[in-house]
């Protein structure tokens, strides 16, 4: 939608029908919108996710950990259907108040540890299993450089750019009469 006369409010008031699919369902408040607990499997690691680029980062790492023989990385994976608003259930918001997949629960701790944000989950798993994160100070720093790069810059170069360009901002040709 092209709307270059848009002036942001000082305080964002959520209004129904204010944009695309996810602009409509995201609100300036967090917390559960309905009561439903999460399913739980048999392994210590419980993953609540979906096969989106943010979601698959975590399953790729879990599978790589299993591949190098770390059997404690076995996990149960449950689909959170974000198109059906499953991210707003009481169970899911308890493990990620920001209502975004992926989210992980580690039941090998008492009380269980919740982890959200795909980058935080990657770091958590790498540290938990002492794998794929270099221990040398210099190498660890370089690895974290790229971890934070992929969290912040990569989405803007990839899907984020397309999403914002197509959905949020006016087409550049609408900006100025002087566009070639
Ligand atoms: N920075 C977050 C982004 C997660 C994210 O944007 N997840 C999307 C799917 S890829 C989502 O759950 N969207 C649901 C919504 O916006 O309601 C991360 O890396 O974990």
CA distance 81 to 146: 29
pLDDT tens track for 105-146:
999 999 999 999 999 999 999 999 999 999 999 999 999 999
Q: Is 126 in the pocket of ligand 1 (CB under 6 A)?
A: no
Starting at the edge strand that comes first in sequence, how are the strands of the sheet with 75-79 ordered?
Answer: 75-79, 45-49, 103-106, 113-116
Which residue, judged by its Cα, is nearest atom 16 of ligand 1? 22
178 — pLDDT class (breaks 50, 70, 90): very low
Three-class SS state of 132: coil
Top-tier CATH class for 31-133: alpha beta
Residue 133: alpha-carbon gap to chain centroid? 21
82 Cβ below 6 A of ligand 1: yes
Atom of ligand 1 nearest to the CA of 80: 12
How far apart CA 81 and CA 132 sit, in angstroms, is 30
Report which secondary-structure segment, H or E, holds 3: none
Residue whose tokens read 């360009």:
165
pTM of the shown model: 0.84
Predicted pLDDT of residue 13: 75
The domains of the chain are located at 31-133
Measured in angstroms, how far is the CA atom of residue 89 from the centroid of ligand 1? 15
Nearest CA to ligand 1 atom 14: 100
Distance 100 CA to ligand 1 centre (A): 4
Selected residue with higher pLDDT from 28 and 36: 36
State the Cα–Cα distance between residues 101 and 81, nearest whole angstrom: 9
Please give the number of the atom of ligand 1 that sits closest to the Cα of 55.
10
The atom of ligand 1 lying closest to the CA of 101 is 12
Both tokens assigned to 176: 């100025």
């Amino acid at each position: 939608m092209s709307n270059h006369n848009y002036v942001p409010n000082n305080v964002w008031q959520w209004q129904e029908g204010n944009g695309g699919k996810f602009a409509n369902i995201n609100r300036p408040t967090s917390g559960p919108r309905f009561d439903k607990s999460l399913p739980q499997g048999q392994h210590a690691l419980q993953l609540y996710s979906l096969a989106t680029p943010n979601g698959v980062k975590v399953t790729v790492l879990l599978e790589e950990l299993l591949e190098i023989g770390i059997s404690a990385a076995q996990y149960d994976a449950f689909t959170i259907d974000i198109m059906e608003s499953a991210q707003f259930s009481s169970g899911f918001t308890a493990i990620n108040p920001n209502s975004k997949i992926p989210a992980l629960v580690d039941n090998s701790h008492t009380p269980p540890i919740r982890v959200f944000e795909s980058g935080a989950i990657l770091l958590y798993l790498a540290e938990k299993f002492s794998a794929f994160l270099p221990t040398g100070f210099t190498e660890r720093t370089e690895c974290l450089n790229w971890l934070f790069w992929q969290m912040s810059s990569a989405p803007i170069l990839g899907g984020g750019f397309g999403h914002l360009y197509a959905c949020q901002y006016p087409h550049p040709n609408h900006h100025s009469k002087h566009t070639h």
